[in-house]
Amino acid sequence: MRSNTEPKAHSAMPQNERLVQASLSMAALAIVASFASSCSLDPVHDGQVKALGGEDPNIPAGQYHRGGQPCTVCHGGEGPAKNVFAIAGTVFYQKYDPANPKVPVPVDQAFVRILTADNANLCFVTNCMGNFRATPDRLGAKGLKFPFLVSVQKTSGTGNQPVVAMVGHVGREPSCANCHKDPSFFDSPGHVAVNQNPPNSPVQCPPAVEPDPPLVCPEDLF
Amino acid sequence: MNTSSDPGKSGRTIKTKMLMGMFTLAVGLGALSSATAAVSCASVPDDKRFTALIGPNYPAFRDSVDPYIEKQCGTLDCHGEPGRGFRVYGFRGLRLYSQEAGLIPGIQQTTQEEINANYFALISVEPETFNRVMAQNGQNADILLFLRKAMNLERHKGGALFAKESAPYRCITAWLRLPQDPTVALGTNDKSFCDKAKTQP
């Protein structure tokens, strides 16, 4: 009878159609979920990450990678890097290697000292790629109180231990390279640099053996 | 047969009602968006319109206020960024770029042009409000956005820089109370607040 069969045509969907609909819903959900988990939904942040470009194939991702780039773009909590840095940067020599005058030479074992707004003294040592970083747990419960003053020191065997201090303070930027961009221009003083010549023989990087325990500043030894 | 109980017909009626509802919704949304577009369209900018500013005392700004603002606000990660509305130039951060003059080396002292640019940037953050304050001889300066931001009374990404009655606050408000006459200087007491503000870490 028509009156009995027609409502079924509207309300009851064939089994295979239901299956297709359910599968499509699941697929759509999976696409949305994967997009949300893999990408930042902030287009500005996404653009900043993309602007950094790909990894150098000669340097694997890790503490030696992407020297001179603004670390906290990826390591600032918004991803895509998993470990978060409270502050990070790269230190270079002021003078370039004459053999490679376009690429600044990183400073191995420079001391980066910070005097925070609450008078805490912090010191970090750069690795052979000139990179240094501080994770929030390294800074403790007090964290990093902005604004802070920064200085960089590269000790040498000759007893010459010049300290280069930044003339201004850091207001809120956790990545050195967001202000210290190359080339220097009206809006940037250029990369963070110690006013010394690069060593005659290049430092092997990454080192054959990782320093164990990790290097610390002289004031943190005791 | 009772036609009202015909499920086929009732199904069609529901479908028709739904279509009508959707049509009404679409027309409503269209009308709403047209109305929104009509009221949100900007008129053509009038290049003849301007706001005349009552400029506060310039020499006092140059000698006493600018050094503090440069040091406190003008770092490259704050108001020393080129994209800022209130943009601060100085030897510690952003340099004023001129195609004719070229680039000023980073360590060269802040130039006169940069101090001028800082002065105009500060007084034109909200020109009408600034005029209102200046028309009252610098009284009621707390309504100024740049002071409210610095005290974190308005949301300020850089947080609170000073409190009311602190040395920088007293320095800036004393400058705003000063007559425009460039021969009039800050009093000794007010100047001491500016000196203190300049040298505080």
What are the pLDDT digits (tens) for A53-98?
888 888 888 888 998 899 999 999 888 988 999 999 999 998 887 7
pLDDT at A84: 92
Smallest CA–CA distance, residue B82 to chain A, in Å, is: 7
B141 assigned to some structural domain = yes
Smallest CA–CA distance, residue A148 to chain B, in Å, is: 10
B82 assigned to some structural domain = yes
How does residue A40 score in pLDDT terms, banded at 50, 70 and 90? low
pLDDT at B114 over 50: yes
Q: Does B84 touch chain A if contact means CB atoms closer than 8 Å?
A: no
- Asked whether the beta carbons of residue A168 and residue B76 sit closer than 8 angstroms, the reply is yes
B116 assigned to some structural domain = yes
pLDDT at B192: 92
pLDDT in tens, A122-159: 999 999 899 999 988 888 777 888 889 999 998 876 66
pLDDT at A182: 84
B44 assigned to some structural domain = no
pLDDT at A106 over 60: yes
B121 assigned to some structural domain = yes
How does residue B31 score in pLDDT terms, banded at 50, 70 and 90? confident
For residue B145, what are the domain limits?
58-199
pLDDT at A212 over 80: no
pLDDT at A62: 86
- Asked whether the beta carbons of residue A147 and residue B81 sit closer than 8 angstroms, the reply is no
B23 assigned to some structural domain = no
What total of structural domains would you count in chain B?
A: 1
B9 assigned to some structural domain = no
Report DSSP letters for chain A, one per residue. -HHHHHHHHHHPPPHHHHHHHHHHHHHHHHHHHHHHHHS-S-HHHHHHHHHT----TTS-SSTTSSTTS-THHHHSSSSSSSS--SEEEE-EESSPBTTBTTSPPBPTT-EEEEE-TT--EEEEE--TTSEEEE-HHHH-TT---SSBEEEEE---TTS---EEE-SS-B-S--BGGGTSPSSPBTTB--S-EESSPPPSSPPPSS-SS--SSPP--GGG--
- Asked whether the beta carbons of residue B78 and residue A178 sit closer than 8 angstroms, the reply is no
pLDDT at B79: 94
- Asked whether the beta carbons of residue B77 and residue A178 sit closer than 8 angstroms, the reply is yes
Report DSSP letters for chain B, one per residue. --GGG-HHHHHHHHHHHHHHHHHHHHHHHHHHHHHHHHHHPPPPP-TT------PPPHHHIIIIIHHHHHHHH-STTTTTSTT-SS----TTSPPPPBTTTBPPPTTSPPPHHHHHHHHHHHHTSSHHHHHHHHHTTTTTGGG-HHHHHHTTSS--TT-----TTSHHHHHHHHHHHS-S-TT----HHHHHHHHHHHH--
Provide mean pLDDT across the span B125-140: 91
pLDDT in tens, B39-79: 677 778 788 877 788 889 999 999 999 999 999 999 999 99
pLDDT at B32 over 70: yes
Lowest mean pLDDT among A1-10, A136-145, B80-89: A1-10
Average pLDDT, chain B: 85
* Chain B residues with CB-CB distance to A170 below 8 A: 75, 77
B95 assigned to some structural domain = yes
Smallest CA–CA distance, residue B72 to chain A, in Å, is: 8
pLDDT in tens, B155-180: 998 888 999 989 999 999 999 999 98
Nearest chain B residue (CA) to A147: B158
pLDDT in tens, B89-106: 998 888 888 766 666 666
* Chain B residues with CB-CB distance to A169 below 8 A: 75
Closest in A6, A170, A184 to B75, CB measured: A170
pLDDT at B38 over 80: no
The complex's ipTM?
0.71
